[in-house]
Amino acid sequence: MLKTITNIKDIKDELKQLKFSNKIIGLVPTMGFLHEGHASLIKTSACQNDITIVSIFVNPIQFGPNEDYNIYPRDLQRDITVSQNAGADIIFNPSANEMYPEGYKTYVEVKELTEVLCGRSRPGHFKGVTTVVSKLLNIVQPDRVYFGLKDAQQYVVIKKMVEDLNMNVKVVPCPIVRDIDGLAISSRNIFLSSDERKAALSLSKSLFEAEKMIKSGEKDPEKIIKKIKDIISQEKLANIDYIEIVNFDTLKTVDKIRGKVLIALAVKFGNTRLIDNIIVEV
Ligand code: AMP
């Protein structure tokens, strides 16, 4: 039976028992409003570990002042059902006050990797992410932690933090789950009108086109970016934030397609900012 725990002391007590019986622990950090993307991470963790913990926490410090913290979708009952069906054992669902009590002062920051792509458009966002993930890793002390490549930059940043801070956890990347028509599944898709959703299909369409260009030998990032931009710009409702091609490890822009590259983009439809990407290895 799935257990829901809301305070830090209780989950630490629970974990002490589990570790005493040598259980291998997997952690899946989320902000809730769970969908098939999250479910795939939970299923992977349930396959690879004895116990899977899903954290559900809409982390206030990773949202900018004009972002969607207050309206971010929440539905704990549904999250419990999705988690249980995917094989989770425990939901950790702390309040903001439990995680950041009055007088809270400590932040974790990864340099450079967080200053590009989404970090450029969302200053402070990754500092909020690395801080909350550090806290969750300290609380749960899992053997493995699971991140979706939907947020590829987040995965690269967390992997670096875990390496730099000598944390004892394996960071496991999981592939992007898409709707049947190609749209990357996101909790924020619920905010899209049906016209915006149709227009948003241009994101995956352009990325698949870019992949085809690379597979047929195109090496010039400028030409690939232009193609992506042309496809997305055909949609009147699309407002491009960035389209970039970077090295997957360093997140530095590349002047030639070689090795493992990340083609990443962020585009706004109305007030909803969507991200998508594709990783191509040459
Ligand atoms: P979020 O609740 O949006 O913070 O996401 C929690 C985790 O689920 C992150 O590691 C995301 O990258 C991952 N995730 C979200 N959407 C998808 C998706 N469509 N496919 C794979 N992973 C996803």
CB 82 within 8 A of CB 35: yes
Q: 0.95 exceeded by the pTM?
A: yes
Q: Which of 38, 150, 197, 205 is catalytic?
A: 38
Arithmetic mean of pLDDT over the chain: 98
CB 14 within 8 A of CB 60: no
Residue with CA nearest ligand 1 atom 7:
30
> What's 7-26 look like in SS3?
CHHHHHHHHHHHHHCCCCEE
Residue with CA nearest ligand 1 atom 13:
148
Amino acid at 54: V
State the average pLDDT over residues 27-56: 98
State the average pLDDT over residues 72-94: 98
State the average pLDDT over residues 263-275: 98
Q: Please tell me the distance between residue 37's alpha carbon and the centre of ligand 1 in angstroms.
A: 6
The ligand 1 atom nearest the CA atom of 184: 19
Q: Is residue 38 flagged as an active site residue?
A: yes
Q: Tens digit of pLDDT for each residue in 144-196?
A: 999 999 999 999 999 999 999 999 999 999 999 999 999 999 999 999 999 99
Pocket of ligand 1 (CB under 6 A): 30-31, 37-38, 40-41, 147-148, 150-151, 174, 176-177, 184-187
Q: How far is it, in rounded angstroms, from Cα 268 to Cα 139?
A: 35
CB 134 within 8 A of CB 99: no
